[in-house]
Amino acid sequence: MAERSTERRHTLSNGLHAVAAAEVLSRILVGQTHALAALPAAFDAITLAARAGAQALRHGGKMAYAGAGSSGLMALADCLELPGTFGIAPDRVPMLFAGGVEALLHMQGAPEDDPNLAQADLDRAQLSKGDVVLCLAASGATPYTLTVAKLAQARGVTVVGFSNVASSPLLQLADMPVLLDTGPEIVSGSTRMGAGTVQKVALNMLSVLVAIDLGHVHDGYMVNVTADNAKLVDRASRIVADVSGTGIDGARAALILTDGAVKPAILVARGLTPQQAQDALAESGGHLAPLLT
């Protein structure tokens, strides 16, 4: 384990316990900033993974997330946001988290070493050929995550592996390896820090690329959101008004006609009927751009 880059001593760790609070914070910030510098080298890999995820979702498949401990939490954070942000059905983006809900309330190390849990979680997610699973492990050697990857691969699922250690077992196994070479942590081995931050940013990048590919983002707006609470009704109204070029009252009226769905409401605000809007979106593959010229 000591040979892993994430377990080595950071140059700024020395004397961390004895310096002033402001210096501790400064060193942590430097560590986080340096970790983020690992991302550009992974852009091509993230892009390929996003294309695979979008293709799976476009054809009715799934883009699952899998992980344990801190890496699992980063995966879970991205996974849970996709339905609300991009309107992707929750059953299309299942989460495989070592230990399940109980582990979220009281984190324990044992579940990440249990291959039987991985088998059960994979069965529950019902992944099959054509699906994609995003497997995250800072060390790239977590037994739970490796087992998910191996079993999923055997079922014809495309495995995307995110690891912060070069040449790790997960990266060697994955169909699409994504190396996030963040190096040592300010608190040695605490991969919830630099490694975790960069994992979350990488997933932010991937999921936005997926959403753009699916037509769920237009001009920086989350146009596939469905307004189902007061905050989202207000946001959806502003999106419809801005993209359609109509006033806020017209936007709200259009949203009523589309049951809060933003994309068709934009077209309704521009003069189409709800049915015409749905037909046009089906023809364009869900993309607004060709319909707004």
81 part of the active site: yes
Residue 39 CB-density burial (10 A; 0-12 exposed, 13-18 middle, 19+ buried): middle
Catalytic member of 102, 112, 185, 283: 112
The C-alpha atoms of residue 73 and residue 103 are separated, in whole angstroms, by: 10
The C-alpha atoms of residue 85 and residue 211 are separated, in whole angstroms, by: 9
7 part of the active site: no
Strand, helix or coil at 178?
A: strand
Q: Is 78 within 8 Å of 65 (Cβ atoms)?
A: yes
Strand, helix or coil at 109?
A: coil
The DSSP 8-state label assigned to residue 185 in this structure reads B
Quick count: other Cβ atoms within 10 Å of Cβ 30? 14
Closest among 35, 73, 59 to 286, alpha carbons compared: 59
The C-alpha atoms of residue 262 and residue 226 are separated, in whole angstroms, by: 6
CA dihedral (35, 38, 43, 48) positive or negative:
negative
CB neighbour list of residue 275: distance below 8 Å, 6 or more residues apart: none
Residues 24, 184, 163, CA angle at the centre, nearest 5°?
130
Catalytic member of 3, 7, 23, 81: 81
Q: What is the set of active-site residues?
A: 81, 112
